[in-house]
């Protein structure tokens, strides 16, 4: 047997007894006013017993009878020659002692610890080593001083006892906390012991059942041995076979249990995956709704931004000086800074024109005339193709949102229109034109929108209008160069869509297909040599991309037409004519070009003035672009300018025409959605 554990509270109690007596309550000093009201004789009589008792105690501690001490919690044995502290009535003891006694009663007994005897402070010796003599009855002041001295000593003693009492109370509280913790631990261990005992009893019962079963089997075997002595060999074989079957059965049972456990785990995992998949589907549907809403909001804000910029905008681009061309004089072309300084993109252009035929009265040539123009954006000669496309990329994306878009390149021959639209030769990515860049941008954005449920298809066509005759630039074989077969008609009765009969409409889905179409179109386009350019385009080329988008999950469809037009040279009759046998043919080409360009200007003016009749049919160009010029479309015109001083007259004509177009305002564009 292990020795019985000692209660922590009893250990604390023993420690308290070893130190100092525990004071149950702080001493309370009675009022002394009643003693001071007595006469000298009465006061002396009252003090006489106290003095006698003091003389009887010797070196023991003096305790005033009027200030009783609180008794300690435990009985402390007193040494010989010491006086016991007077008992205090029970009503002065604090109520805590009852709870302490209850706790002590509930604790298990432990080995007693001998308590140390309290050491009381010795009374301070009298000066001179002599006992104070009794003061006469008339020495009230001396008696009062003695009483005050005695009172001070009693108060100091009371304060010391109060501090000791407080310390003991703190120790008692700590002991109670430890007792509570040990009691909880004891209850926990008892509960664990009960569980272990119950388990042991159950195991004992099972052992008894197994023992009984073993006895029964042994009896049965004994009985059977007597009956099957003749068949012992067969029995041994059957036993061997039985053992093999038992082993196989156990193996099958183990495999079955493992399979059931694996199946249970798999079913739990499948259930968890199904729940997760359902949550993911719900989250995906929620995000799809939010993404669709954000996409619609983006389209609305994108269209609003394009409308704020203007549904018809004009950009001016000045090509750089080519090798072999004369350098223009300083100040010929100026690009004033915008309101924000040089950091703002330029929007103004100043052109100086000097006329040698004009002069002053003194015979000196007249000062050059300055012509100022303002556009939505001006691209100086150093601007690259990427910078130009970056400015129109958002407009191209509007076609993907369902808004018809038409982009023109206008200017005289040799001003860089074809370079702007198709790019330079050699396949250099840095000099790619707007057509390949626009289609690459559309393919990329359409791929991004496919994750949101949108599917897009693109169909391209490329025609030219030469002398008011429509030709298919994508024609191959025997149809190549036959323009009379192509006519502009409506797609069907009551339909607003226009198509070109006998023209090839090629589905495209990648950049390589677009490059092949552009290469074929360059070979088929009508060009001729003029005085201003060795290889001048004598026709309007129109690249059309039909865009169809559908969101099958929401039943939303949108469609739009993107038109990228490279207009023929806008020069007047004289500068562009080349001498030779083909002069009349060049003259007829120039007249047809100027007529169609004039009709384009009249159509834009009529749309801006909200006229009831718009002369679309006056030109094949405007008739083909009819659905991309109205109030439901967005238009952008590039006016291309030559930097050479010899072309200043044609440059001024182009800038003036572009300024008129820039002043036009067309109604709000509407998306083609179903």
User: What pLDDT score does 37 carry?
Assistant: 44
Q: Is 29 helix (H, G, I), strand (E, B) or coil?
A: coil
Question: Which range (313-322, 348-357, 397-406, 559-568) has the least confidence?
Answer: 348-357
Highest mean pLDDT among 10-14, 53-57, 396-400: 396-400
Predicted confidence band of residue 292 (pLDDT cuts 50, 70, 90):
low
The pLDDT of residue 105 is above 50: no
User: What pLDDT score does 556 carry?
Assistant: 84
Q: Hey, which residues does 312 pair with through a beta bridge? A: 635
CB 370 within 8 Å of CB 652: no
Radius of gyration of the chain (CA): 58
User: What pLDDT score does 310 carry?
Assistant: 54
The predicted-structure confidence for 394-442, as pLDDT tens digits, reads as follows 889 888 888 899 999 999 988 999 999 988 876 788 889 999 999 999 9
* 512 Cβ contact partners less than 8 Å away, ≥ 6 residues apart: none
Phi and psi at residue 470, in whole multiples of 5°? Answer: -90, 130
The pLDDT of residue 32 is above 90: no
Q: DSSP letter for 581, please.
A: T
User: What pLDDT score does 206 carry?
Assistant: 93
User: What pLDDT score does 363 carry?
Assistant: 54
| Four-CA torsion 37, 38, 43, 46, nearest 10 degrees | -100
User: What pLDDT score does 25 carry?
Assistant: 45
3-class SS string, 616-666: HHHCHHHHHCHHHCCCCCEEEEEEEECCCHHHHHHHHHHHHHHHHHHCCCC
Question: Which range (34-43, 233-242, 319-328) has the least confidence?
Answer: 34-43
* 636 Cβ contact partners less than 8 Å away, ≥ 6 residues apart: 312, 313, 314, 315, 392, 395, 405, 406, 407, 408
Q: Is 107 helix (H, G, I), strand (E, B) or coil?
A: coil
CB 408 within 8 Å of CB 624: no
Q: How far is CA 32 from the centre of its chain?
A: 80
The pLDDT of residue 101 is above 70: no
Question: Which range (321-335, 486-500, 564-578, 616-630) has the least confidence?
Answer: 564-578
The pLDDT of residue 474 is above 80: yes
Predicted confidence band of residue 370 (pLDDT cuts 50, 70, 90):
confident
Residue 163: Cβ within 10 Å count: 12
The pLDDT of residue 650 is above 80: yes
Predicted confidence band of residue 588 (pLDDT cuts 50, 70, 90):
confident
The pLDDT of residue 391 is above 60: yes
Q: Is 476 helix (H, G, I), strand (E, B) or coil?
A: coil
Predicted confidence band of residue 238 (pLDDT cuts 50, 70, 90):
confident
The predicted-structure confidence for 215-231, as pLDDT tens digits, reads as follows 999 999 888 887 868 77
The pLDDT of residue 468 is above 50: yes
Region 656-667: mean pLDDT is: 82
User: What pLDDT score does 670 carry?
Assistant: 53
Task: Pull the structure tokens for residue 398.
Answer: 């509007």
Q: Which helix (H) or strand (E) holds 545?
A: strand 540-551
Region 133-162: mean pLDDT is: 90
Q: Which helix (H) or strand (E) holds 307?
A: helix 232-309
Question: Which range (52-61, 289-298, 591-600) has the least confidence?
Answer: 52-61
Region 627-645: mean pLDDT is: 87
Task: Pull the structure tokens for residue 603.
Answer: 């159509």
User: What pLDDT score does 99 carry?
Assistant: 42
DSSP of 354-380, one letter per residue? --TT-B-TTSPBPPPEEEEEE-SEEE-
Percent of all residues in the chain with a pLDDT value above 90, rounded to a whole number: 35
Mean pLDDT, rounded, of the chain: 76
Phi and psi at residue 612, in whole multiples of 5°? Answer: -70, -30
* 611 Cβ contact partners less than 8 Å away, ≥ 6 residues apart: none
Q: Which of 393, 352, 349, 391 is nearest to 373 (CA)?
A: 349
The span from the CA of 119 to the CA of 626, in Å, is 121
The predicted-structure confidence for 57-88, as pLDDT tens digits, reads as follows 343 333 333 444 444 433 333 333 333 343 43
Name the more confident of 435 and 118.
435
Percent of all residues in the chain with a pLDDT value above 70, rounded to a whole number: 69
101 half-sphere exposure, CB direction, 13 A CA radius: 10
User: What pLDDT score does 306 carry?
Assistant: 57
Region 540-548: mean pLDDT is: 93
Region 451-462: mean pLDDT is: 90
Say what the pTM is. 0.56
Residue where the block lists tokens 């496309």:
389
User: What pLDDT score does 111 carry?
Assistant: 45
Q: How many residues does the chain have?
A: 674
The span from the CA of 376 to the CA of 299, in Å, is 22
The predicted-structure confidence for 301-329, as pLDDT tens digits, reads as follows 656 565 555 578 899 999 999 888 888 88
* 54 Cβ contact partners less than 8 Å away, ≥ 6 residues apart: 62
The span from the CA of 622 to the CA of 491, in Å, is 17
- Crossing angle for the helix pair 232-309 and 385-400, to the nearest 10 degrees: 110
User: What pLDDT score does 57 carry?
Assistant: 39
Q: Which helix (H) or strand (E) holds 562?
A: strand 556-566
The predicted-structure confidence for 162-196, as pLDDT tens digits, reads as follows 999 999 999 999 999 999 999 999 999 999 999 99
């Amino acid at each position: 047997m292990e020795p019985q554990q000692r209660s922590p509270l009893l250990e604390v109690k023993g420690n308290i007894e070893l130190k100092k007596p525990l004071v149950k309550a702080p001493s309370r000093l009675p009022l002394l006013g009643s003693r001071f009201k007595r006469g000298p004789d009465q006061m002396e009589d009252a003090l006489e017993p106290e003095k006698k008792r003091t003389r009887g105690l010797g070196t023991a501690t003096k305790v005033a009878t009027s200030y009783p001490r609180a008794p300690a919690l435990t009985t402390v044995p007193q040494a010989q020659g010491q006086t016991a502290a007077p008992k205090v009535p029970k009503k002065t003891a604090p109520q805590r002692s009852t709870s302490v006694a209850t706790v002590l009663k509930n604790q298990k007994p432990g080995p007693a610890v001998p308590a140390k005897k309290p050491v009381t402070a010795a009374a301070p010796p009298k000066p001179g080593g002599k006992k104070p003599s009794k003061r006469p009855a008339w020495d009230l002041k001396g008696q009062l001083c003695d009483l005050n001295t005695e009172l001070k000593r009693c108060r100091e003693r009371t304060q010391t006892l109060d501090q000791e009492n407080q310390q003991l109370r703190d120790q008692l509280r700590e002991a109670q906390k430890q007792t509570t913790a040990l009691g909880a631990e004891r209850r926990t261990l008892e509960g664990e012991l009960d569980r272990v005992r119950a388990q042991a009893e159950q195991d004992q019962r099972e052992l008894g059942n197994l023992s009984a079963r073993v006895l029964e089997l042994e009896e049965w075997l004994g009985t059977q041995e007597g009956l099957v002595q003749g068949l012992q060999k067969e029995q041994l074989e059957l036993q061997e076979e039985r053992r093999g079957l038992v082993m196989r059965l156990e193996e099958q049972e183990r495999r079955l249990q493992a399979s059931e456990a694996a199946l249970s785990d798999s079913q739990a995992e499948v259930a968890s995956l199904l729940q997760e998949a359902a949550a993911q589907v719900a989250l995906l549907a929620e995000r799809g709704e939010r993404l669709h809403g954000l996409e619609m909001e983006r389209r609305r804000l994108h269209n609003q931004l394009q409308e704020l910029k203007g549904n018809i905008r004009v950009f001016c681009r000045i090509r750089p000086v080519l090798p072999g061309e004369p350098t223009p004089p300083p100040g010929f072309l100026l690009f004033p800074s915008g309101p924000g300084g040089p950091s703002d993109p330029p929007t103004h252009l100043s052109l100086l024109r000097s006329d040698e035929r004009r002069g002053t009265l003194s015979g000196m040539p007249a000062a050059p005339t300055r012509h100022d123009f303002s556009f939505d954006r001006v691209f100086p000669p150093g601007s690259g193709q990427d910078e130009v496309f970056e400015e129109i990329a958002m407009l191209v994306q509007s076609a993907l949102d369902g808004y018809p878009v038409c982009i023109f390149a206008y200017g005289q021959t040799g001003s860089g229109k074809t370079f702007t639209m198709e790019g330079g030769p050699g396949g250099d990515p840095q000099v790619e034109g707007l057509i390949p860049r626009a289609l690459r941008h559309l393919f990329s954005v359409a791929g991004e929108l496919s994750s949101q449920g949108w599917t897009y298809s693109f169909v391209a066509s490329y025609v030219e209008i030469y002398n008011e005759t429509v030709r298919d630039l994508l024609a191959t074989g025997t149809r190549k160069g036959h323009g009379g077969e192509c006519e502009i008609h409506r797609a069907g009765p009551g339909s607003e869509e226009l198509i070109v009969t006998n023209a090839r409409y090629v589905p495209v889905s990648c950049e390589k297909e677009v490059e092949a179409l552009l290469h074929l179109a360059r070979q088929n386009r009508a060009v001729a040599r003029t005085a201003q350019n060795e290889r001048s385009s004598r026709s309007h080329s129109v690249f059309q991309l039909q865009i169809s988008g559908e969101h099958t999950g929401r039943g939303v469809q949108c469609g739009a037409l993107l038109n990228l037009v490279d207009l023929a040279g806008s020069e007047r009759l004289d500068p562009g004519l080349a001498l030779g046998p083909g002069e009349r043919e060049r003259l007829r080409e120039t007249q047809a070009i100027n007529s169609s360009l004039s009709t384009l200007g009249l159509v834009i003016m009529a749309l801006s003035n909200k006229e009831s009749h718009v002369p679309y049919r006056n030109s094949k160009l405007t008739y083909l672009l009819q659905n991309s010029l109205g109030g439901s479309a967005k238009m952008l015109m590039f006016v291309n300018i030559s930097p050479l001083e010899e072309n200043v007259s044609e440059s001024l004509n182009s800038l003036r025409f572009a300024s008129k177009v820039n002043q036009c305002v067309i109604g709000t564009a509407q998306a083609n959605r179903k």
